[in-house]
Amino acid sequence: MADSSFDVVSKVDRQEVDNALNQAAKEIAQRYDFKGVGASIEWSGDSILLKANSADRVRAVLDVFQSKLIRRGISLKAIDTGDGEPQPSGKEYRLSATLREGLSQEIAKKLTKLIRDEGARSVKAQIQGDELRVSSKSRDDLQGAIALLKDADVDAALQFVNYR
């Protein structure tokens, strides 16, 4: 019997992020506590730029954006804000957030080690570029591996695709 397998990836649906960003921008434009503080959120190339006239207001804009992301089913682990502190830029404060996609080599190695140490003996994991292929003869063992990876504390939003 052929091996069953699935891939572990870390991808973000850019359309959903764009929708969340537009919803956040609309809310920021309408909310009373954001009036007159120059608060905005927008795409800046591949990153998201949050601006306001104080560091607290930038953090509030980030909070609104994160709540919109959660409602749209996007993990906050997919958004990287660096150290999370707004930087002063002239009269305003700015915070740049980037989308994190693909498994880094470090995270992929951590997941492979976790599967090897705590998973069933028949489960094999191999790194293929920015994704991880997990295979086994037993589909039950693969289900156990998925449960194990869901409980793992890694700094990436994991999705499980191509289960066959």
d(CA 29, CA 50): 13
Strand boundaries in 45-91, DSSP class E: 47-52, 79-80, 87-89
**Per-residue pLDDT tens for 61-85?**
999 999 999 999 999 999 998 887 8
CATH 3.30.1490.20 for domain 4-11+103-161: no
What average pLDDT score do residues 99-125 get? 91
CATH of domain 14-99: 3.30.70.990
Enumerate the β-bridge partners of residue 40.
Answer: 51
Residue-level pLDDT at 1 = 55
3-state helix, strand, coil in the chain (%, to 5): 40, 25, 30
Same fold yes or no, 4-11+103-161 and 14-99: yes
The pLDDT value recorded for residue 164 is: 86
Q: Domain spans of the chain?
A: 4-11+103-161, 14-99
Taking alpha carbons only, the member of 92, 67, 95 closest to residue 81 is 95
Average pLDDT of span 140-144: 91
Q: Which parts of 53-156 are beta strand (E)?
A: 79-80, 87-89, 92-99, 124-128, 131-136
